[in-house]
Structure 1
Amino acid sequence: MDIFLHEDRCAVNNLPNHVRTAFVSNNLLRSDQDRLDFCGMVMRESRVDVFLPRNCGPIASSEKQKISASLIHAIHKYTLNRNRSSFTDGASEQIVGDSFLGLAFTLLTEYVENGVYVRRTSEIQINTGKTDWKRTINRIQGYPSSESMVYLDTLGRKKITHYNDEVTLIHAEIIRELDRLIGWIFFDKDLNIPSKLADIKPPSGDNSAQIRILERELGILYADRDMKLMKDLIAYLSKASNNSDDSLVIGISKFHSMWEHMIDSCMKWKFDINHRLAKPCYIINGEYQIATQKGGRTDTVLRSSDETRFAIIDAKYYGAENLANLPGWPDLIKQFFYAQALKDIFPGAIIYNWFIFPGITGTAQSAHLMDPITGVLQDERYMPIKCVYLDPMILVSHYNLGKKLVELAEKLIHI
């Protein structure tokens, strides 16, 4: 498998034709679009094109697979969060391949825990297995001996495992395929699945025929685990039948929403202030009516344990390299307002204001308002917004592990 790394916002014209075709077929690329808006992967045969968040910096060849798998895991974790819409403004993200990825991870987890599905039956045989004395006494000729009966033959129940059952063949083939497609993402180390399943031959028939076999098996099952497995296998084959493209696409557009969510998830000393911020109020028909849903909504606010210091964080997924791709007037005014609103609620507190950009290092240090005529800074009225850069893949790693960015939080809140 060959992994080729790119970054979000890379030039579309530099991408391979099959990658551009995959993006177009998944509605991730417009005809007039010159820069990509996507983080994730496109896989075709043994080639994987991975699109990391912007400003990740150089990645060592030995780290390509680990970094790529970490990103896909983070995207999967993000898709499982049901409150992510509360972190983003404007157009929402588009997530592609999340249902396939979730189903694939479920099937691989089930296989690791329980192995390949096999049908087990039992047969009554002579002189084999555990003796069934009731059946033996009723059906086998006994001979008197002293005060008991002697049976020259006994009937026993022998358990038989059918490794060549068609359902077993289907399950094994799906696991082999998933291992080839995303085993490098799911497994920490190579489990050599092809070797373990080498003795199980491929199933016969196309996907439709295999689905019918699984549906028949589902109809005779009673165990919840086996029933769920059959349903998941049917779902997988159904998705494969409906997929006309030969490329596997998994990822997310408009990564800024996930950027905001991950930063919020990895912060320590978070403080919910949104419910206390002033809300717009209108006079309608002579009555004051508050627009609760139209109130201010900060990304993340931190509060020190002694409640004397606050940090207002605005996670910005900007290039942040020059004036053209730094936050503009609406972003600045919003942060200045939040600082003032927080000061009104906690008059004696020290307020720090921050932009967090993706990057290993950065050029922007802080944002100010300046009088364009006199060149005088307005720092006394509008507290400067400091800038900090965060390595996107360090954030992704912490997010996957459920760890907090303690050192960063300490810096933001000046502990």
Structure 2
Amino acid sequence: MANLAYYRDRDEVDSLPCGLATLMQQRGLIAPDQTRVHYCGFVSWQQGIAVFMPRNTCLKSLRSHHTFYLLQSLNRYYLGKSTGITEGQESELIGKTSLSLIYSLIEDYRAKGLYVRRKKHFSINQGRPNWKRTIARRTPYPSGGSPVYLDTDTSSTRYVSDCETARIHAQAIRSIYKKYGVVITGDDVNSDENLDRMPAPKLGIETQMTVLDRELSESYSERDIQLIGMLKAYIEETSASGGAELLVGTRKFHNVWEGMLDKCLPNKVDINSNLPVPYYQQDKHFIEVSQKGQRTDTVIESEDRKRWAVIDAKYYNASTPNLAPGWHDLVKQFFYKIAAENICGSDVLVSLHFVFPGNISYLNNVKVGKRKQKRVTIDKFLEVDGYGEIFCHYCDPAILLEKYACGQLLELNRKSHITGSFFNKADIM
């Protein structure tokens, strides 16, 4: 099992082990002027695998299966994106190609086992007749107006399980399991019986590539061709990086945070298609620009359908007011409420909500007030009319990763999932 060490996105760079920080700088994950990490994902280094969880994750409560949920969540989010983004851009999944290769090798092995060489054996009168070969090689004898072949060419298939290609295959799977099996598979498995009894390859890397090329030229089944191609790619990648390396993650986890919450919140209502859009006047006409219209993160409704909660997933620290969303985020929510109320009518009560990562409620709500009050008690707070309030909630990142990776919904009546209630608070507005 891999040696796992947990860190967090937005941790201070100086808090990381020196060797890990240096490696991440070399890999371009930490810029020279950065004081905090902006990365969520995995980095393999000399002491094992560094796992960077979402900000505000409680590291003490983590177990090895949480690394599996993180990787599954990253994989699910980026595979599900409709827009194709070329590798290397900041908003895409770093290491997508390597991750896809490792997943494919593991899935192929779990479904079909180790490589087996299929070798055709040709004989005479000792197996299944090969009529094409027989007609080309043998002289027929006439009998009753039809040709008769006294000898027929026959063929049979022999399966060789202990060949050099099978050994290379076993070595690659063993390497993946040993380096980061629990991260990829979710199981504390380093190997199995089939892998244990297969000897290591006898040849060096260059000769292994030659063996695979020769095997590829003699292969005809789709599975064999794909597998050999993946093994060649894996050997090239690991030899280039000096060993099996796991470098998978994103510098823009706030996109993933918003996407996960949207997928995992129950009772959603789609109002985006009904929200107002801007019109620009040109000469004597107003022209609609629908792609620049309002779009909310998520809207959910209560069981009785009499209340709506407009939810904005915010990937902020939010442990103090200074580390919470600013004016432009508040204004968007206030306008979303106006738009939502125009859609649902007067029979539905609309409330506004932020959801931050974490499991401790640092902030309760936010209102707009008059200046120069500084720090003031609730009963003396001077509120500006017409804005309303936005309620603050916190969702445990570890729980959200698990729910999202498993395709499950959050339970809003469980305090361990999201702090506070979206609809009980709305009753006191």
Q: TM-score category by the smaller chain?
A: 0.7 to 0.9
Say yes or no: does 1:401 pair with 2:406: yes
Within 2, Cα distance between the matches of 1:65 and 1:14?
22
1:57 shift after superposition: 1.8
Q: What is residue 412 of structure 1 aligned with on the other side?
A: 422
Within 2, Cα distance between the matches of 1:133 and 1:31?
69
Where do residues 253-264 of structure 1 align in structure 2 (5 Å cutoff)?
253-264=251-262
Aligned 8 A contact 1:22 1:249 in 2: no
Say yes or no: does 1:33 pair with 2:31: no
Within 1, Cα distance between the matches of 2:284 and 2:24?
53
Gap change, CA 1:46 and 1:23, over 3 Å in 2: closer
Q: TM-score, normalised by structure 2?
A: 0.81
For residues 254-295 of structure 1, give each alpha carbon's deviation from its aligned partner in whole angstroms, at most 9, with x where no partner exists.
Answer: 211110000001011112211211112212244312222211
1:245 shift after superposition: 8.3
Within 1, Cα distance between the matches of 2:245 and 2:18?
12
Within 1, Cα distance between the matches of 2:203 and 2:243?
21
Q: What is residue 19 of structure 1 aligned with on the other side?
A: 20
Q: CA RMSD in A?
A: 3.1
For residues 109-163 of structure 1, give each alpha carbon's deviation from its aligned partner in whole angstroms, at most 9, with x where no partner exists.
Answer: 111121110103354789xxx964989xx9xxxxxxxxxxxxxxxx998754323
Aligned-partner residue type, residue 254 of structure 2:
H
For residues 305-353 of structure 1, give each alpha carbon's deviation from its aligned partner in whole angstroms, at most 9, with x where no partner exists.
Answer: 6543211010001110112111110000000000011112222121011
Aligned 8 A contact 2:6 2:52 in 1: yes
Aligned 8 A contact 1:310 1:351 in 2: yes
Gap change, CA 1:324 and 1:158, over 3 Å in 2: same
Aligned 8 A contact 1:22 1:247 in 2: no
Where do residues 18-97 of structure 1 align in structure 2 (5 Å cutoff)?
18-60=19-61, 63-83=62-82, 93-97=91-95
Gap change, CA 1:281 and 1:125, over 3 Å in 2: closer
Within 1, Cα distance between the matches of 2:247 and 2:301?
40
The match for 2:382 among 376, 386, 389 is 376
Q: What is residue 395 of structure 2 aligned with on the other side?
A: 390
Within 2, Cα distance between the matches of 1:264 and 1:109?
29
Aligned-partner residue type, residue 357 of structure 1:
F
Aligned 8 A contact 2:276 2:339 in 1: yes
Say yes or no: does 1:354 pair with 2:353: yes
Tell me the secondary structure at the aligned position of residue 79 of structure 1: helix
Within 1, Cα distance between the matches of 2:383 and 2:129?
98
1:191 shift after superposition: 4.3
Q: Which runs of 5+ in 1 are unaligned?
A: 139-154
Q: What is residue 290 of structure 1 aligned with on the other side?
A: 288
Aligned-partner residue type, residue 25 of structure 2:
V
Aligned-partner residue type, residue 67 of structure 1:
H
Within 2, Cα distance between the matches of 1:368 and 1:85?
39
1:362 shift after superposition: 1.8
1:14 shift after superposition: 2.0
Could you tell which deviates more after superposition, 325-334 or 244-253? Answer: 244-253
The match for 1:271 among 257, 262, 269 is 269
Within 2, Cα distance between the matches of 1:294 and 1:199?
61
1:214 shift after superposition: 2.6
Q: TM-score, normalised by structure 1?
A: 0.83
For residues 164-218 of structure 1, give each alpha carbon's deviation from its aligned partner in whole angstroms, at most 9, with x where no partner exists.
Answer: 3222122111111111122122334344526532333333555454334333333
Aligned 8 A contact 1:308 1:350 in 2: yes
Aligned-partner residue type, residue 50 of structure 1:
V
Gap change, CA 1:85 and 1:307, over 3 Å in 2: farther
Tell me the secondary structure at the aligned position of residue 387 of structure 1: strand
Q: What is residue 162 of structure 2 aligned with on the other side?
A: 164
Within 2, Cα distance between the matches of 1:175 and 1:247?
14
For residues 24-46 of structure 1, give each alpha carbon's deviation from its aligned partner in whole angstroms, at most 9, with x where no partner exists.
Answer: 23321111101101111222245
Gap change, CA 1:173 and 1:97, over 3 Å in 2: same
Q: Which runs of 5+ in 2 are unaligned?
A: 135-152, 374-380
Within 1, Cα distance between the matches of 2:196 and 2:408?
40
Within 1, Cα distance between the matches of 2:243 and 2:283?
57
1:242 shift after superposition: 4.1
Within 1, Cα distance between the matches of 2:292 and 2:129?
78
1:222 shift after superposition: 2.8
1:80 shift after superposition: 1.2
Within 2, Cα distance between the matches of 1:28 and 1:37?
8
Within 2, Cα distance between the matches of 1:377 and 1:9?
33
Where do residues 121-270 of structure 1 align in structure 2 (5 Å cutoff)?
121=119, 123=121, 132=127, 160-193=158-191, 196-243=194-241, 248-270=246-268
The alignment of Structure 1 onto Structure 2 pairs a total of residues equal to: 387
Q: What is residue 324 of structure 2 aligned with on the other side?
A: 326
The match for 2:298 among 291, 297, 300 is 300
